[in-house]
Structure 1
Amino acid sequence: MPESLDLVVTSVATQLMGATSATAKDVCQNVLADLVAYFGVDVSFLRRNDHTIRASVLVAEWPVRPGIPDPDPLAVVYFTDADPVFAMAEHQKEPVVFRPEPATDDYQRTINEGRQVAATSMACVPLLSGEVTSGVLGFVKFGDRNWTDAELNALKAIASLLAQVQARVDAEEQLRYLADHDDLTGLYNRRALLNHLDVRLADGQPGPVSALFFDLDRLKAINDYLGHTAGDWFIRVLAERLRRSADGPTVIARLGGDEFVVVPATPMDAEAAEALAVRLQAALRERVAIDGEMLTRTVSIGVALGMPGHDSTSDLLRRADQAVLTAKNSGGNQVAVFTDDMSLENEFRNDIELHLQTVVESGALLLHYLPEVDMRTGDIVAMEALVRWQHPTRGLLTPDSFIGVAESINMAGELGRWVLRTACAEFAAWRSRGHGKESVVRINVSPVQLVTEGFVESVKGAMADNGLPPGSVCLEITETVVVQDIETTRITLDGLKEAGVLVAIDDFGTGYSALSQLKSLPVDTLKIDRSFVRELGSDPGDLAIVRAIIALAEAFGLELVAEGVETRAAALTLLRHGCHRAQGFLLSRPIAAGPMESLLAKGRIDVDF
């Protein structure tokens, strides 16, 4: 150690200059060792104040106590329980020296003779960060020691250097914390989750490793109703419930929005992971008080397993994500465990979404038509346009395979416009050759199209461009669409009526939700849902519903069409009760444009009931 106090301070500053969060403890310990030697004391310690918990926390000491117990009683000392010396350090602003009392000649003679004494002296120097006391630097002498003003001033300078190091370490640790934690909930973030799973899935680690993917159902309703501040509070409450309810040192991460992932610390099989998911789901279902409202939201959970050395982090999270999508697509509030079938479904969906982006431009779409027949005569009175997709590798796909994906990527409107234009063009071409002039082309309309501004004008334009007269085009809307936005629907339907466009309610009877609106909406046709037609002739319950719909159509003067007629018994039952128009496999399957024109040229289908 240097001989002068100035050089002591300079030496300490040099040692502390390169201290980081990782090295600060060792560097501070070396500084304390040098100071103990220079000042001729027996013990030195450095402690920091944690004002959030009102405690003094040990940073470094010299010499290190042998046989430190676990837990160390000096590691954290709470000020409320501390002796007066510790308690003073909470807000100390100036150095304080404690010496044996009284300092008598007899006491001094005892020290000079080298005899053991019980008394000690101490110097405590506060670490200051502005007006806040951030810690204390202490020195203990077994016996008496007089501290000069020059020494205390040097220690104040050293304490200031240590306070700067402590502030730098705190800032570094805060940055590290923020890098690994979500700022809203305090849970781990995606980065920390990925790092944790990389370690857990390394070769040789115990497995299987389970991941539970949580996705809240309809959080948007809270954001829309009470605002995003309420939504954030709701998420924080649920995050805290996950902390309390999870077993042991479980890793819980928020991926963003309303998505969380829970990774149990111990290996567990699918059955145990599913049981944990069900228990956590129940804990999250409890009501939350926000702005005087008692709110709750269900949660969908996907469970997946990964084997260390075999599965990667991306493999495990992809499976958990696929499982939670399955849970949500099943209506939400479900727990789904990943299966290989989910992987195949997801692969199919991704393939569809990838190729669907350019399906209109590529010319891969085409229309098939399902004839609508008067079962009394076999006359073809209408045809329903049904879109098909000639997929590059999967062959001819029906709408069930891709319409849902189209809606999820906001392509339903574009597909609907293509169907409208193409159906009008093909129907007009047939009519120009003298076929189907007494028939109607029926075109399905998505909810997106119906509420899109300018929809009526686009329909009028498609008819005018192809020279189709009023009454030749009928748009089909589902019963649920009618009541979703009744005012917008009424305005749109009124506009279509003025343009000479017919309107049919498709899948009628699935909820009777449009009954109260029938008298005020310009509807021309009801189409009985196939679920009530399939078992006609054998199910008296279906017959009762069909008879009620037939009576309803008669009361309102509406045309009636039965969907899904596949058996002779169903056809005869419909005819017997006054429903004459139908479509279904008993009469004809959907056929391509060419055969449809040929069928129109013939004018009828042979029926023999």
Structure 2
Amino acid sequence: MERKRPEHVPGLAELHERFRRIALRVGLVGLILVGAAFFVSVITGGVNAESYMEAGVYAVILSAIALSAHRDYKTRLVLNVGLTFLFLAYWAFTYTEFRMGDIAVDTLLYPIFIPVFIAIGLDYRLQFSLAPLHGVMIWLVTPLYIEVVPFGAETLLQQQILTATMACFCALLIVLLALVQISRQKTDERLVAVIIEKNRLATTDPLTGLLNRRAFLEALDRSAGQYPDLTLAFIDLNGFKPLNDQFGHAAGDAVLKAIAARLEHHDAVISAARPGGDEFAAIIDPGLSTAETDKAIAAIHASLIHDVSWQDRLIHVGVSLGYATTSGTDSDTQACLSRADTAMRRVKAAGGGFGRYTAATDAEGISTSRLAVSFPPALAAGQIRPALQPIADARFREIVCHELLARWTSSSGGRQPTPREFIPVAENLGLMNELLWNTLDQALKHWPSDTRAVSVNISPGQLQTRNFVPKLRRIIDRHGFAPGDLTLEITENVALRNVSANAEALEQARRAGMKIALDDFGTGYSSLSLLSRLPLDMIKIDQSLVHAASRDGASTQTAILRGALRLSHELGLISCVEGVSSEEMALQMKVFGADQIQGFWVGRPTLVTPRPAKVKLAS
């Protein structure tokens, strides 16, 4: 990888900019002072040929420093070299003046302090080098000064003591500057180290050392600007969670590190990242042809699936790899990464391996990806609206409850996603709670019926959410609904995923006064065990069983349906059959002993619309 200059490393730009500004000020202020001093000399009549030469030399050196800082070209080097030459030039001109006898009472003050001011901007190594020279030059010019200005030194011994004292003092001034510069430089080095480490932690995955997601996207944008076509690979490990469960997280970490090392050091990979979990991404060498890229992908996949050695055992690693090609525009790189991810998911669903994205094969996956992008703004914009489907008493056919559903609506027209399409997307995005809060709040706010009872569908992820039940209570309380007016429906298959945790969460809801229904009863494998382990008030029998029983009154499905209805009564549970689509079927469910019925014959889902405000007529 190309090594960046320190001033170009992210996070160090401010330090470099600070030094550049200092160098620019040194050059500009120095030019102003030289110009002012020359102007004063002109006014006082002290200008000669040497004055022009001296001012010209100073102006050239200071201009070079200012120009270098302004253009940000080797600023540190030019500043150190320029100030060193300025230091030497000053002493050359000053010593010449002293030798020529151009001395006044205040003449010695300038060579004592001006070189010190010049040395302030130097590196400490140069300061240490110039300190003895400064002391020697003071030692040389002081006797010349004393010859003109006695300065209280009458004897030769007094003159020598004064000269030595002045030389040591002036050399010590620059040595002290060097010590201060050392301390400041060490502080800067520590700051630089902190910034570099902070940048490393911000841009790399701490476990594998690969780029993290943010840094990879930045690298992707840079590469897209350099190459007309890019091939991106998205990689996922198969069975990584069972591996962690079987061998422990230490083994999982070892596998991730091994995969990262293989990916990073493959010749065809120019940049690799671990966006998170057991997922990896890579930019493939853009210099390869399409055929060469396909071969490189096959080679990468072959290198990744080698067993990983860990604690004297070999761990098998399964890998799914999807890849896609982009034209290099910024928008296309993001779409290409999504296409590579889609191809990977298709490959993974087929059992693993590798595959290139093709529109014909992966169109459905892309549609899901687009839903994942468009769903959050649609939810925020209120395009996901509540719909209510009635539930009726099987004997008297009166509406006793409404089930809350969600519908995607938009004024743009065209086909809108169905709940079967966007509900899984909402669950994957972790937005099921927001979906429930929004639709429930809207439905209760504009409740269209005198029957104040509502049923909502929930998932295990929602059940385990902190403060889920209190949040439900706050919403129904705000609209004047009692806890007993709310029924939580959890599907049979979902409830089986973690029965103990689900039972605990449902019990909390039940203690709060809410009712619990087991939805889609008859489609799972452990229905009877669920009836005994979950705190239930109702079972909703799946429409597939209801339709099968309706087609053949003497079928096995009919016997199962009638048995389920009898079982619910014996357990003291309310029974509700779904999918009732005709009056004949409604009568049949009543004969079978169902308590409640739901389906298109009872009523189709209807969007909840705001009720018009009441207008008070003037008397």
Q: TM-score, normalised by structure 2?
A: 0.51
Matched, 1:473 2:486: yes
Q: Return the alpha-carbon distance in structure 2 between the equivalents of residues 405 and 379 of structure 1.
A: 35
Q: Do the aligned partners of 1:443 and 1:475 also contact (CA within 8 Å) in 2?
A: yes
In the TM superposition, residue 338 of structure 1 has moved relative to its aligned partner by: 3.6
Equivalent position of 1:447 in the other structure: 460
Go from structure 1 to structure 2 and tell me whether the alpha carbon gap of 1:449 and 1:196 turns closer, same or farther (over 3 Å shift): closer
Go from structure 1 to structure 2 and tell me whether the alpha carbon gap of 1:389 and 1:197 turns closer, same or farther (over 3 Å shift): closer
In the TM superposition, residue 255 of structure 1 has moved relative to its aligned partner by: 1.9
In the TM superposition, residue 523 of structure 1 has moved relative to its aligned partner by: 0.2
Residue type matched to 1:482 in 2?
Answer: A
Go from structure 1 to structure 2 and tell me whether the alpha carbon gap of 1:186 and 1:522 turns closer, same or farther (over 3 Å shift): closer
Match of 2:332 among 302, 315, 322: 315
Instruction: Give secondary structure in 1 for the equivalent of 2:579.
Output: coil
Alignment of 1:86-485 (within 5 A): 190=216, 201=228, 211-217=232-238, 219=240, 230-239=251-260, 250-251=268-269, 253-256=271-274, 257=276, 258-261=279-282, 263=284, 266-268=288-290, 273=294, 284=304, 287-291=307-311, 295-296=315-316, 298-306=318-326, 312=329, 315=332, 318-325=335-342, 327-328=344-345, 332=349, 333=351, 337-339=357-359, 341=363, 342-343=365-366, 345-356=368-379, 358-359=380-381, 364-391=383-410, 393=412, 399-427=419-447, 430=449, 435-436=450-451, 440-469=453-482, 471-485=484-498
Residue type matched to 1:354 in 2?
Answer: P
Match of 2:532 among 519, 536, 558: 519
Alignment of 1:28-39 (within 5 A): none
Go from structure 1 to structure 2 and tell me whether the alpha carbon gap of 1:351 and 1:373 turns closer, same or farther (over 3 Å shift): same
Q: Do the aligned partners of 1:473 and 1:502 also contact (CA within 8 Å) in 2?
A: yes
Q: Return the alpha-carbon distance in structure 1 between the equivalents of residues 336 and 428 of structure 2.
A: 20
Once the two structures are superposed, what CA deviation does each residue of 1:175-222 show, in whole Å capped at 9, x if it has no partner? 9xx9x99997698995777777766636xxxxxx75432123564676
Instruction: Give secondary structure in 2 for the equivalent of 1:518.
Output: helix
In the TM superposition, residue 591 of structure 1 has moved relative to its aligned partner by: 1.3
Show structure 2 runs of 5+ residues with no match.
1-195, 613-619
Q: Do the aligned partners of 2:210 and 2:273 also contact (CA within 8 Å) in 1?
A: no
Go from structure 1 to structure 2 and tell me whether the alpha carbon gap of 1:288 and 1:538 turns closer, same or farther (over 3 Å shift): farther
Go from structure 1 to structure 2 and tell me whether the alpha carbon gap of 1:287 and 1:508 turns closer, same or farther (over 3 Å shift): farther
Once the two structures are superposed, what CA deviation does each residue of 1:111-165 show, in whole Å capped at 9, x if it has no partner? xxxxxxxxxxxxxxxxxxxxxxxxxxxxxxxxxxxxxxxxxxxxxxxxxxxxxxx
Q: Return the alpha-carbon distance in structure 1 between the equivalents of residues 540 and 558 of structure 2.
A: 15
In the TM superposition, residue 491 of structure 1 has moved relative to its aligned partner by: 3.0
Go from structure 1 to structure 2 and tell me whether the alpha carbon gap of 1:391 and 1:326 turns closer, same or farther (over 3 Å shift): farther
Q: Return the alpha-carbon distance in structure 1 between the equivalents of residues 569 and 314 of structure 2.
A: 47
Q: Do the aligned partners of 2:235 and 2:320 also contact (CA within 8 Å) in 1?
A: yes
Instruction: Give secondary structure in 1 for the equivalent of 2:525.
Output: coil
Judging by fraction of residues, say which structure has more helix. Answer: 2
Go from structure 1 to structure 2 and tell me whether the alpha carbon gap of 1:223 and 1:349 turns closer, same or farther (over 3 Å shift): same
Q: Return the alpha-carbon distance in structure 1 between the equivalents of residues 339 and 605 of structure 2.
A: 34
Residue type matched to 1:556 in 2?
Answer: L
Indicate the percent of aligned positions where both proteins have the same amino acid. Answer: 30
Residue type matched to 1:505 in 2?
Answer: L
Instruction: Give secondary structure in 2 for the equivalent of 1:519.
Output: helix
Residue type matched to 2:529 in 1?
Answer: S
Match of 1:553 among 564, 568, 591: 568
In the TM superposition, residue 397 of structure 1 has moved relative to its aligned partner by: 5.9
In the TM superposition, residue 505 of structure 1 has moved relative to its aligned partner by: 1.3
Deviates more, 1:570-579 or 1:455-464: 570-579
In the TM superposition, residue 463 of structure 1 has moved relative to its aligned partner by: 4.3
Match of 1:563 among 578, 584, 596: 578
Equivalent position of 1:583 in the other structure: 598
Residue type matched to 2:412 in 1?
Answer: T
Equivalent position of 1:123 in the other structure: none
In the TM superposition, residue 497 of structure 1 has moved relative to its aligned partner by: 2.6
Q: Do the aligned partners of 2:518 and 2:538 also contact (CA within 8 Å) in 1?
A: yes
Q: Do the aligned partners of 2:541 and 2:576 also contact (CA within 8 Å) in 1?
A: yes
In the TM superposition, residue 384 of structure 1 has moved relative to its aligned partner by: 0.4
Once the two structures are superposed, what CA deviation does each residue of 1:336-389 show, in whole Å capped at 9, x if it has no partner? 624173555534432223343x34xxx555422111134554322321011334
Q: Return the alpha-carbon distance in structure 2 between the equivalents of residues 198 and 595 of structure 1.
A: 50
Q: Return the alpha-carbon distance in structure 1 between the equivalents of residues 486 and 336 of structure 2.
A: 46
Q: Return the alpha-carbon distance in structure 1 between the equivalents of residues 250 and 565 of structure 2.
A: 52
Once the two structures are superposed, what CA deviation does each residue of 1:469-521 show, in whole Å capped at 9, x if it has no partner? 46432111222443444344333322333333211012233323453232132
Q: Return the alpha-carbon distance in structure 1 between the equivalents of residues 512 and 462 of structure 2.
A: 17
In the TM superposition, residue 551 of structure 1 has moved relative to its aligned partner by: 5.1
Q: Do the aligned partners of 1:416 and 1:449 also contact (CA within 8 Å) in 2?
A: no
Residue type matched to 2:372 in 1?
Answer: R
Matched, 1:503 2:516: yes
Q: Return the alpha-carbon distance in structure 1 between the equivalents of residues 546 and 611 of structure 2.
A: 24
Equivalent position of 1:160 in the other structure: none
Q: Do the aligned partners of 2:394 and 2:589 also contact (CA within 8 Å) in 1?
A: no
Go from structure 1 to structure 2 and tell me whether the alpha carbon gap of 1:568 and 1:468 turns closer, same or farther (over 3 Å shift): closer
Q: Do the aligned partners of 2:371 and 2:425 also contact (CA within 8 Å) in 1?
A: no
Go from structure 1 to structure 2 and tell me whether the alpha carbon gap of 1:195 and 1:386 turns closer, same or farther (over 3 Å shift): closer
Q: Return the alpha-carbon distance in structure 1 between the equivalents of residues 339 and 300 of structure 2.
A: 19
Q: Return the alpha-carbon distance in structure 1 between the equivalents of residues 603 and 219 of structure 2.
A: 59
Q: Do the aligned partners of 2:388 and 2:607 also contact (CA within 8 Å) in 1?
A: yes
Q: Do the aligned partners of 2:491 and 2:520 also contact (CA within 8 Å) in 1?
A: yes
Q: Return the alpha-carbon distance in structure 1 between the equivalents of residues 303 and 544 of structure 2.
A: 39
Q: Do the aligned partners of 1:185 and 1:236 also contact (CA within 8 Å) in 2?
A: yes
Q: Do the aligned partners of 2:237 and 2:320 also contact (CA within 8 Å) in 1?
A: yes
Instruction: Give secondary structure in 2 for the equivalent of 1:212.
Output: strand
Go from structure 1 to structure 2 and tell me whether the alpha carbon gap of 1:339 and 1:513 turns closer, same or farther (over 3 Å shift): farther
In the TM superposition, residue 259 of structure 1 has moved relative to its aligned partner by: 0.9
Q: Return the alpha-carbon distance in structure 1 between the equivalents of residues 281 and 570 of structure 2.
A: 54
Go from structure 1 to structure 2 and tell me whether the alpha carbon gap of 1:458 and 1:338 turns closer, same or farther (over 3 Å shift): same
In the TM superposition, residue 460 of structure 1 has moved relative to its aligned partner by: 3.8
Q: Return the alpha-carbon distance in structure 1 between the equivalents of residues 454 and 528 of structure 2.
A: 25
Go from structure 1 to structure 2 and tell me whether the alpha carbon gap of 1:463 and 1:200 turns closer, same or farther (over 3 Å shift): closer
TM-align CA RMSD: 4.8
In the TM superposition, residue 253 of structure 1 has moved relative to its aligned partner by: 4.1
Matched, 1:492 2:505: yes
Residue type matched to 1:267 in 2?
Answer: S
Go from structure 1 to structure 2 and tell me whether the alpha carbon gap of 1:326 and 1:379 turns closer, same or farther (over 3 Å shift): farther
Q: Do the aligned partners of 1:477 and 1:505 also contact (CA within 8 Å) in 2?
A: yes
Instruction: Give secondary structure in 1 for the equivalent of 2:233.
Output: strand
Instruction: Give secondary structure in 1 for the equivalent of 2:435.
Output: helix
Q: TM-score, normalised by structure 1?
A: 0.52
